Amino acid sequence: MPDVLKAVEALSPSFAGRLILPSHADYHDARALHNGMIDKKPALVAQCRGAADAADAVALARSLGLDIAVRGGGHNVAGRASVDNGVVVDLSLMRSVMVDPLAKRAWVGGGALWRDFNKETQLYGLASTGGVVSSTGVAGLTLGGGFGWLMPKYGMALDNLRAVKLVLADSSVVRATRDDHPDLFWAVRGGGGNFGVAASFEFNLHDVGPMVVGGLVAHPIDRAKDVLKFFRDHTQTLSDDVFMVAALITAPDGNKAIGLAAVHSGSLSDGEKALKPVKGFGSPVLDVMGPMPYSAANMMLDESFPKGGRCYWKSNFMSTLSDAAIDTLVDQFMHNPSPLCGIVLEYFHGAATRVPVDATAYALRDQGFNVLINSQWLDKADDAKGTSWCRTTHQSLQPFVGARRYMNYYSDDDMTDAGLASAYGPNLPKLRTIKKKYDPQNLFHLNANITPA
Ligand SMILES: Cc1cc2nc3c(=O)[nH]c(=O)nc-3n(C[C@H](O)[C@H](O)[C@H](O)COP(=O)(O)OP(=O)(O)OC[C@H]3O[C@@H](n4cnc5c(N)ncnc54)[C@H](O)[C@@H]3O)c2cc1C
């Protein structure tokens, strides 16, 4: 592609980051994403060092008429952080996290991971809602919602944003806040990568830890239905201090199991009291729930999601968890094709669910169970089995699910008009109007794409 070569040569002297062409020794590492099924071959990976680099990379792609993909942490299962024959605006070199402990604020680079965020903020016993797996990107997770252990107490990740610095489609750079570009600030809090490249974020922080009570208990699979009924009933009693998850999994010894994971974000004595019923239910075969560093709580699930694992996900939201839904979940889990497959139920409640649906673009403000069918395997030969189990399980759950779905869990084939309606509901028309104002040519379309009004 001679045009790309020429454009890269022209840009090189002023570009602070790395411009990686297919001939470069690091090209294959640079194009790899978390999901090993994604095998796209971009014309250029532009690894930026700041907003100015990102503005240049966007201008280069625009001038050559190439598609733009934006990469934060590279974790999204849909794989739209890369593109065949286009330009990846890759922020993975922009991982700085600066903390003002007195003002309780953090300034975070657009390529930072949650482990970067937690490490710097926990130095001061501070935190904000982030993902439960430490290798996930701050950017993609926050722009699409962002739940985690602190969600019931402090809302979604995006509810804690004060500002986002964005490179727009015309390569101009703006800071969106409640006062500056308020329409854009509303739209990026849920609208994903539709409105520009988020070069940096400014977050509110809260006192958390550094020690909290949390962890995991597990029961044999033959107790799964009773444990899920306990989970359903116990979640109705939780205070805002506790976020809790149930997961049908295969243990490292090869036995199927049901796990309950929880974190209490208040004092240790309150945490011990609050999680006592979880530890006391039935006869767990594993109990690693107790005092632990908050940053360790955010890494305890990391090993279940190996980089390069082949992933195909589907999710839905259930406001109630009926006995029939529990039977279906357990029965379907028993047929999964790989020990890396799981079904995860995340109980959404508290502060995040008290925000009005129209306060931000993000629209999943219901209380209830976010159900993720996490199909994952290692061998390419198992692709058909892995995707088919996920689809069949998803289909079998349809009698129990509601209209709303969590966009950040979408696979590529969920990014349809129906998928957009499920993610944004009544906020979609306003999003399309704001898209028309800031990206009328739909330059940023490799995402759950909101087309301009
Ligand atoms: C193992 C695993 C665990 C997860 N755990 C959680 C969890 O606990 N809570 C939760 O809410 N979600 C979770 N998710 C889902 C997660 O929120 C999404 O996958 C999210 O998109 C990941 O963000 P990223 O920056 O790593 O993604 P990327 O793949 O880099 O980006 C995904 C999309 O976001 C947009 N984007 C990314 N960075 C930028 C940027 N700087 N500017 C503009 N647009 C950008 C682009 O459209 C891009 O296609 C998890 C996913 C995985 C794979």
pLDDT tens digits, residue range 79-100?
Answer: 999 999 999 999 999 999 999 9
pLDDT of residue 408: 98
Question: Best substitution site from 68, 87, 94, 136 to test ligand 1's pocket, by max atoms within 8 Å of Cβ?
Answer: 136
Nearest CA to ligand 1 atom 3: 133
- Written as six digits, the tokens of 117 are 């965020």
Token pair in block for residue 374: 């996490």
| pLDDT given for residue 112 in this prediction | 98
Q: What burial class does residue 335 get, using C-beta atoms within 10 Å of its C-beta: 0-12 exposed, 13-18 middle, 19+ buried?
A: exposed
Could you tell me the CA-to-CA distances from 155 to 128, 152, 332 in Å, in that order? 9, 6, 32
**Strand, coil or helix: 244:** strand
DSSP letter string over 391-451? HHHHHHTGGG--S---GGG--GGG-SHHHHHHHHGGGHHHHHHHHHHH-TT----SSS---
pLDDT, tens only, 321-342: 999 999 999 999 999 999 999 9
Burial letters 88-125, b for 16+ CB under 10 A, else e: bbbbbbbbebebeeeebbbbbbbbbbbbbbbebbbebe
CA of 190 to the centre of ligand 1 (A): 12
Give the position of tokens 């532009």.
46
Percent of the chain with pLDDT over 70: 100
Please compute the mean of the pLDDT values over residues 154-161 and round it to a whole number.
98
Q: Which residues, at least 6 apart from 311, have a Cβ–Cβ distance to it below 8 Å?
A: 34, 35, 36, 37, 77, 374, 375, 376
Instruction: Return mean pLDDT, the chain.
Output: 97
Protein residue closest via CA to atom 8 of ligand 1: 131
Structure tokens at 316: 């839905």
Report the chain's terminal Cα–Cα distance, integer Å: 34
Distance from the alpha carbon of residue 142 to the mean position of ligand 1, in angstroms: 8
> Residue 99 C-alpha to ligand 1 middle, in angstroms?
22
116 pLDDT tier (thresholds 50, 70, 90): very high
The Cα 111–Cα 94 span in angstroms is 5
Query: Ligand 1 pocket check: which of 35, 70, 305 to mutate, most ligand atoms within 8 Å of Cβ?
Result: 70
Q: For residues 264 and 243, what is the distance between their CA atoms, to the nearest angstrom?
A: 7
3-state helix, strand, coil in the chain (%, to 5): 35, 25, 40
Comparing CA positions, the residue from 374, 299, 314, 302 lying closest to residue 338 is 374
Q: Which residues pair with residue 68 across a beta bridge?
A: 87
Mean pLDDT across 384-392:
98
The pLDDT value given to residue 412: 96
Per residue in 266-323, pLDDT tens?
A: 999 999 999 999 999 999 999 999 999 999 999 999 999 999 999 999 999 999 999 9
Query: What confidence score (pLDDT) does residue 342 get?
Result: 97
pLDDT at 391 over 70: yes
- Dist. CA 281 → ligand 1 center (Å): 34
> For ligand 1, what atom is nearest to the CA of residue 147?
11
Paired strand residues for 344: 247, 372
Atom of ligand 1 minimally distant from the CA of 71: 30
Ligand 1 is surrounded, with C-beta below 6 A, by: 34, 70-77, 80-81, 91, 110, 131-133, 136-137, 139-141, 143-148, 192-193, 197-198, 305, 408-409, 446-447
Mutate to test the pocket of ligand 1, among 31, 70, 76 (most ligand atoms within 8 A of CB): 76
Residue 50 has pLDDT above 80, yes or no: yes
CA distance 323 to 164: 43
User: What is the 8-class DSSP label of residue 153?
Assistant: H
Measured CA to CA, the distance from residue 3 to residue 5 in angstroms comes to: 5
Pocket test for ligand 1, best of 33, 71, 113, 344 (most atoms within 8 A of CB): 71
What's the average model confidence in pLDDT over 344-366?
Answer: 98
Predicted confidence (pLDDT) per residue in 225-246, tens digit: 999 999 999 999 999 999 999 9
Residue 2 pLDDT > 70, yes or no?
Answer: no
Residue ID of nearest Cα to ligand 1 atom 47:
193
b/e map of 20-30 (b: 16 or more CB within 10 Å)?
Answer: beeeeeebeeb
What radius of gyration do the chain's Cα atoms show?
Answer: 21
pLDDT band, residue 1 (cuts 50/70/90)? low
pLDDT given at position 111: 98
CB-based burial label for 391 (10 Å; 0-12, 13-18, 19+): middle
- For residue 49, the tally of other CB atoms under 10 A from its CB is 16
Using CA atoms, how far apart are residues 437 and 87, in angstroms rounded to an integer? 23
Nearest-atom index, ligand 1, CA of 198: 42
How large is the average pLDDT for residues 52-63? 98
Q: Could you tell me how many residues make up the chain?
A: 453
Nearest CA to ligand 1 atom 21: 140
Q: Best mutation site among 80, 95, 141, 414 for ligand 1, i.e. most ligand atoms within 8 A of its Cβ? A: 141
Closest Cα to atom 7, ligand 1: which residue? 131
pLDDT in tens, 195-225: 999 999 999 999 999 999 999 999 999 999 9
Going 106 to 109 to 110 to 116, the CA torsion angle's sign is negative
- Residue 79 CA: which ligand 1 atom is closest? 29
CA of 402 to the centre of ligand 1 (A): 23
Q: Write the Ramachandran bin of 171: left for phi over 0, alpha for psi from -120 to 50, otherwise beta.
A: left
Determine which residue's CA is closest to atom 45 belonging to ligand 1: 193
Ligand 1 probe mutation, 75, 158, 299, most atoms within 8 A of CB: 75
Q: Which atom of ligand 1 is nearest to the CA of 69?
A: 49
The predicted model gives 135-156 an average pLDDT of 98
The mean pLDDT of 406-430, rounded to a whole number, is: 97
* One-letter identity of residue 32: A
Q: Whose CA is nearest to atom 44 of ligand 1?
A: 193
Count of CB atoms situated within 10 Å of the CB of 195? 30
Q: Whose CA is nearest to atom 36 of ligand 1?
A: 140
In sequence order, the 6+-apart residues with CB closer than 8 A to the CB of 336 are 250, 342, 375, 389
Ligand 1 centroid from CA 266, angstroms: 27
Q: Whose CA is nearest to atom 9 of ligand 1?
A: 131
